[in-house]
Structure 1
Amino acid sequence: MSPKQHRGEVTSDLLLDAALRLYTQSGEQGVTVTAVTRTSGVSLGSLYHHFGSLDGLLTALTERWTGRLLEQLVTALTGAETAREGIRAVVGAYLAFVRDHPGAALLVHSPSADRRLLARGREIRDAQQPTVSAMSRWIQPRIDAGEVAPLPMPLLESLVLGPVVAVARRRLSGVRDVDLDEAARILPERIWRSISADGA
């Protein structure tokens, strides 16, 4: 990497980190051009050079943390021997991400993040393909072995992550009637029953 490329990465990181701090403190309305440049110490021209717009910055920030969440899930999954253990690991990793990175988790689960990612659907899917492929490569042998029900991969993903995402969104919305540790203890077994080949 050339010194110029390195400086560019450092500048991008400063802007992204500042945007996340501001989002965590004040929500999206707190992420203004003025606040980002002041907090990061980076010039307005550099922000537009690297991201094109404030929305471009927020899109890049959403993609960064969505990618990190997916990487955390893959790491958890690939460390598990059985499909049942894999479900427990994925649920635990997802809810740990929500607990450990509340600002990033709030951003990733926000309606505006949904809109941004949907607007760039194909591009986002292509960027996430290695992670999705890693999940598929892990689960396919468990399907072939009769451990997991032979369902289409999108349905398996919905059955596994749907309940976890719902708990995360509920918690991030400010509702405190769900304890993340309790959810991490209860959900895996319930989810496992929905995807196991024998339903047990």
Structure 2
Amino acid sequence: MARSARKQEILQAALACFTEFGVDATTIEMIRDRSGASIGSLYHHFGNRERIIGALYLEGIGEYAALLETGLLDSLEAEACVKLFVTCYVDWVVVHPDWARFILHNRGRVEAGEMGERLREFNREHGGRIATILRRHREAGAFKAIPGECFVSVVIGPVQDMARNWLAGRSKAPLADYRELLAEIAWDSVRRRTDA
């Protein structure tokens, strides 16, 4: 079996165990049993349980980032760019609810762990690419004067909170039902109004 396929099997087995038993209660042996991998294979690919947690986290945010960046073409207008943050987020969460739940609950753990620097580096690189794409819209005056470090929080905050509620079973309607509404709210929050 190819190494990348084995790594994916281990990560998906880990996610299944984390979902079923919780991150703290899941042992490396449980992941090994679920994945069918040898203990040597687990340690070869990851080294320990914390690295499995970090790798699963990084892969999940990487998937969302790739989905977002693929859509954020230079040809998109400012409104489409902002709305894409929300629609990509909703789409990814709906397809991967267990992974999304894992990511929402384990950021601090990964940041504080041995893979924290890799996470910070990923965030710097991804953030830089996003800032470059959004810069031309900012310079063209499409957005309100919002500090750069605050911009994404304003855009993604409401959908992230709604996703948390949906993932926890507190929302009665499917998250996808609010996709367009949340995208419109994000755009209304950051766009510079010219009619005032």
Q: How would you bin the TM-score normalised by the shorter chain?
A: 0.7 to 0.9
**1:59 corresponding residue in structure 2:** 54
Contact 1:18 1:36 (C-alpha < 8 Å) held by counterparts = yes
* Uncovered stretches (5+) of structure 1, i.e. residues with no partner: 1-5
The code of the aligned residue for 1:40 comes to: S
For CA contacts below 8 A with separation 6 or more, give which structure has more relative contact order: 2
**1:95 corresponding residue in structure 2:** 90
Distance 2:52 2:118 in 1: 16
Residue 151 of structure 2 corresponds to residue 165 of structure 1: no
Shift of 1:98: 0.9
Cα distance change of structure 1 residues 183 and 164 upon mapping to structure 2, 3 Å threshold:
same
The percent of aligned pairs where both chains have the same amino acid is 26
Shift of 1:103: 1.2
Residue among 188, 191, 196 paired with 1:193 = 188
Give deviations 1:38-64, integer Å, cap 9, x for gaps: 121211122123222112211111111
Cα distance change of structure 1 residues 47 and 121 upon mapping to structure 2, 3 Å threshold:
closer
Shift of 1:29: 5.1
Distance 1:171 1:126 in 2: 30
Contact 1:149 1:197 (C-alpha < 8 Å) held by counterparts = yes
Alignment of 1:77-92 (within 5 A): 77-78=72-73, 81-92=76-87
Query: Is 97-106 or 168-177 further displaced after alignment?
Result: 168-177
Contact 1:80 1:89 (C-alpha < 8 Å) held by counterparts = no
Residue 124 of structure 2 corresponds to residue 143 of structure 1: no
**1:180 corresponding residue in structure 2:** 175
* Uncovered stretches (5+) of structure 2, i.e. residues with no partner: none
TM-score with structure 2 length normalisation? 0.86
Distance 1:32 1:121 in 2: 21
Cα RMSD between the aligned structures? 2.4
Contact 1:76 1:90 (C-alpha < 8 Å) held by counterparts = no
How many positions carry a matched residue from both structures?
A: 194
TM-score with structure 1 length normalisation? 0.84
**1:3 corresponding residue in structure 2:** none
